[in-house]
Amino acid sequence: MIELYTWGTPNGRKISILLEELNVNYTVKPINISGNEQFSEEFLAISPNNRIPAIVDHETNIHLMESGAILLYLSQKYDKFCIKGDGYWDMLQWLMWQMGGLGPMLGQVHHFVKYNQGKSRYSEERYTSEARRLYKVLETRLTNRDFIAGEGVGQYSIADISCWPWISRFEWQELDLHQYPNVRDWYNRIADRPAVQKGYHIPHFVNEVPIS
């Protein structure tokens, strides 16, 4: 049995979406990060960086923090949504792109544009222009492709699962997906998946999955 420590945020949703896609049994341990539960002793023993998501796999006794590591672990354990052969490295580079670029930069947009608008014009402009640049990179990547990584039109993988929940906050980022038609098609294609609809609402319902 896998325990998922999570909250309704993009990094948390990556893992609940993958677990739903894998159709494995798991229990959810909500960690209310607005109530500072991420700083409790019990949680720090599993996630020393005091961030969600984290998992404990009681079958293997493996404890993991960092969503990228968790996506790799689960997709390899269950041998699904992890591209094999040369495509593995393609998938990995896009997963790293999300972990090192898309996620952290969009996180800054949420901080300055959604929650602290007007406090720092410089930061709002800096992170919004970086967000636009990253959306453009994804737009170009998705030209004539259905999914981010893999040969031909690509293959649905943890590269998509890691990026999708960040793009689902396009309204917070004040970005119009119609300006990025390939991203929009990809976003809607993934949003239609039943596992994505289910995983989005873990640990509880916050809002409907945004549609563009």
Ligand X SMILES: N[C@@H](CCC(=O)N[C@@H](CS)C(=O)NCC(=O)O)C(=O)O
**Phi and psi (nearest 5°) for 62?**
-95, 130
Q: Which one of residues 9, 75, 155, 173 is an interface residue with ligand X (CB under 6 A)?
A: 9
Q: How many CB atoms lie within 10 A of CB 61?
A: 7
Task: State the minimum distance, in angstroms, from the CB of residue 144 to ligand X.
Answer: 29
Question: Where does this chain touch ligand X (CB under 6 A) — which range of 7-15, 76-84, 129-137, 149-157?
Answer: 7-15
Residues 29-48 that bind ligand X (CB under 6 A): 33, 38
For 133-162, letters b (16+ CB in 10 Å) and e give ebbeebbebbeebbbbbbeeebbbbbbbbb
Residue 66 within binding range of ligand X, rule CB under 6 A: yes
User: What percentage of the chain's residues is helix, strand, coil (to nearest 5)?
Assistant: 55, 10, 35
Q: How many residues bind ligand X (CB under 6 A)?
A: 12
CB nearer to ligand X: give 162 or 184: 162
| Separation between Cα atoms, residue 67 and residue 52, nearest integer Å | 8
Residue 98 within binding range of ligand X, rule CB under 6 A: no
Q: Which residues of this protein are in contact with ligand X, per CB under 6 A?
A: 9-11, 33, 38, 50-53, 66-68
